Amino acid sequence: MNNSAIATLFVIIPLCTAFLISLMAKLVKRGFIYTLSILSAGLLLFSSFYALNILSKTAGNLLVYKIGGWGPPFGICLVLDGLSVFMLIIVNLAAFFISIYNVGYTDKDDDAPKFLTLFFMMVTGLNGVVITGDLFNMFVFLEVASIASYALVCYREGAEELEAAFKYAIMGSVGSAFIFIGIAFLYGFTSTLNMADMSRVLAAKQGIFVVPFVSVLFIMGFGLKAALAPFHAWLPDAHTSAPASISAMFSGVLIKTLGIYALARILFTIIGTTQALLSALMALGAISILAAGVLSVSQWNMKRLFAYSSIEQVGLIALGLGLATPLGILGAIFHIFQHSVAKSLLFLTAGSVDNSAHTRDLREMSGLKEKMPVTAAGSLAASMSLSGIPPLGGFFSKLIIILACIEKGCYFYALAAVAGSVLTLTAMAKVQRFAFFGELKGKFKNIKESPFAMQVSIVCLTGICVFGGLLLLPQLRPFVSNAADVLLQGVKYSGLVLEAAAK
Amino acid sequence: MTLYILCLFLFCVGLYGVLRKRNIVKIIVGFAIMGYAMNLFFVMFGYKFHGRSPIGDISQNISNMVDPLPQELVHTSIVIGLGLTALLIAIAIKIYEKCGTFDITKIKRLKG
């Protein structure tokens, strides 16, 4: 078997799982469906690590799979490089633990198979966006993931959920419209859709107006998907209304894959960055950090607080990417990993509190630590990592980004990042103080810790969250630094991919 | 050039509908108009007046050829738009069942 064929698995496995689940929903027992979903998510996770392993043995750290044997300018090719594999591992890691969590979280719902079908459709879209090497194909996968996520927001069908879903669907599709027009312009200008080939043509042609215009369209479109500050209005509503496991998926993976990854892939490796674009990205990041940081501290709804905190952390990632120095990009990539794990974990613990205590209002809960020790420990670890307490991973990623700002002489941005860090610490301390510490209220005397499956997934993610900082060790570091290298080498990507495809 | 400007105008009509209208159904219609403008715009990139389809023998030299690729892409985009519109309408119907109104200024439960 050709090694590069493994790239197709990341789309085939979740797509088949989604169809199998929806076909078999009425015929088999619920337990079988849950087993199938966990097995398939586990297989995906295993394949991503296997792909990482293959990739580390390949020269040039690049694998290209040509679908149907058609070469780059004509056919669609799937590209696995350092950044793709890094994102694949993040997506499938979150998907695996969330599918374990789903067993405990959705077992009382009659519609759980439909939920799992949509969940795997979303994973299909996310994996597809990451591995594809074709611009229009990326748009299609982006829409697959987006439409599944619109439907998942209103899964519970309450009035608030429907309102949030409608808002998210309209804003998300306006964002997609801008991305589509950007792709149309690029196609009209370069007459090709393959990313590598497009990059080659763009380098040869000097377009004065088209490229900046298209970049602005992409920043608007993907910025909306990533919920950067002026485009963030959909995120708090959607995250608050979605079921907890989906909020975890949104915050941990969706906004980073559809927003940050796609934007970085297009701006850095296809179009090529200019200082103006990078400054815009940094400014958007700084606005997100400050605005969302202040808003998150003032929230009393637990999930809404976490949602605003997500906007803040995405801003920090955008700031790191906008620096475009080796240190800045490394910090941004590392922070993607840390935030993905920590924020998924926080949303899962919020869902577990909601499941047992039936409230999301911080003012109503108190002292849940006594009754829900596992959830409280998970939430504490994630809060500490997110707000940057030294031994945990979040500290290192934030430190790297702040150091990169200082190294480049952007003192204002460094200050914004530090201020954002303090605001996160305040918000997380608020959650811990009101939800888990303090005296147990009378009406919570009889609540139980969440079901076993939910505990398992919380414990595993806590482990990853606590030891996440170890990724900076020299032995494990290539995982992060290979991903950063892809963005650093920029438009050389096209030459490498075309060369690998010609073999 | 006139065609492209008209296309932009159509897009702006759709965007106006999405941004300014208060009725959910009108928002969805505005969204659909925006989709038409997008698709029309993309098709026009590959279109040539009095052009023909690039089907024929390889020895034939077709001078005035329409680029078929944007048409295929728009085909895909129309299907995506169909799915999205169906989902939006389903949500709108559910909202009407729950709230008894299509007016978005009256459905305001989420704040902050």
DSSP string, A315-367: HHHHHHHHH-SHHHHHHHHHHHHHHHHHHHHHHHHHHHHHHHH---BTTT---
pLDDT in tens, A238-252: 998 888 899 999 998
**Range in A72-86, A115-129, A447-461, B43-57 with the lowest mean pLDDT:** B43-57
Chain A residues closer than 8 Å to B38 by CB: 177, 180-181, 184
| The two three-digit tokens of residue A252, written as one number | 């941990």
SS3 state at B108: coil
- Distance between CA atoms of residues B75 and B69, nearest Å: 10
pLDDT tier for residue A1 given thresholds of 50, 70 and 90: very low
pLDDT in tens, A8-25: 999 999 999 999 999 998
Whether B91 contacts chain A with CB within 8 A: yes
* Backbone torsions φ then ψ of A81, nearest 5 degrees: -130, -170
pLDDT in tens, A277-327: 999 999 999 999 999 999 999 888 888 999 999 999 999 999 999 988 899
Tell whether the model's pLDDT for residue A155 goes beyond 70.
Answer: yes
pLDDT tier for residue B25 given thresholds of 50, 70 and 90: very high
Chain A residues closer than 8 Å to B76 by CB: 136, 140
Chain B residues closer than 8 Å to A295 by CB: 112
pLDDT at B112: 52
Chain B residues closer than 8 Å to A188 by CB: 45
- Under 8 Å CB-to-CB from B58, ≥6 apart: which residues? none
SS3 state at B105: coil
List of E strands, A40-182: 62-66, 77-81
- Under 8 Å CB-to-CB from A458, ≥6 apart: which residues? A101, A345, A348, A349, A352, A374, A375, A378, A450
Tell whether the model's pLDDT for residue A259 goes beyond 50.
Answer: yes
| The two three-digit tokens of residue A273, written as one number | 């960055």
pLDDT at A176: 93
What is the mean predicted confidence (pLDDT) over A417-431? 91
Beta carbons of A2 and A78 less than 8 angstroms apart:
no
Supply the DSSP symbol for A450: P
Whether B18 contacts chain A with CB within 8 A: yes
pLDDT at A107: 79
| Cβ <8 Å between B88 and A166 | yes
pLDDT tier for residue A147 given thresholds of 50, 70 and 90: very high
pLDDT at A36: 93
Place of tokens 């829900």: A372
Best of B31, B40, B109, B111 to mutate (most A CBs within 10 Å, chain A): B109
Say how many C-beta atoms besides its own lie within 10 A of residue A453's C-beta.
18
- Under 8 Å CB-to-CB from A63, ≥6 apart: which residues? A3, A4, A6, A7, A51, A54, A55, A79, A80, A81, A500
What is the mean predicted confidence (pLDDT) over A170-187? 92
| Cβ <8 Å between A162 and B73 | no
pLDDT at A435: 85
pLDDT at A75: 84
Tell whether the model's pLDDT for residue B80 goes beyond 80.
Answer: yes
Contacts with A, B 59-88, CB within 8 Å: 67, 69-70, 73, 76-77, 80, 83-84, 87-88
Whether A174 contacts chain B with CB within 8 A: yes
* A156 vs B110, residue with greater confidence: A156
What is the mean predicted confidence (pLDDT) over A160-186? 91
**Range in A9-13, A37-41, A78-82, A475-479 with the lowest mean pLDDT:** A475-479
ipTM: 0.93
| Cβ <8 Å between A163 and B109 | yes
Supply the DSSP symbol for A206: -
Mean pLDDT of chain A: 89
3-state secondary structure B31-72: HHHHHHHHHHHHHHHHCCCCCECCCCCCCCCCCCECCCHHHH
Pick the closest to residue A200 from A271, A116, A257 (CA basis). A271
Tell whether the model's pLDDT for residue B110 goes beyond 70.
Answer: no
pLDDT at B38: 92
Query: How many A-B residue pairs are in contact by the CB < 8 A criterion?
Result: 87
Q: Which residue from A minimizes the CA distance to B86?
A: A147
Tell whether the model's pLDDT for residue A45 goes beyond 50.
Answer: yes
Mean pLDDT of chain B: 87
pLDDT in tens, A454-488: 899 999 999 998 888 888 888 888 888 888 888 88
pLDDT at B111: 60
pLDDT at A37: 93
Best of A111, A161, A166 to mutate (most B CBs within 10 Å, chain B): A166
pLDDT at A21: 93
Tell whether the model's pLDDT for residue A367 goes beyond 80.
Answer: no
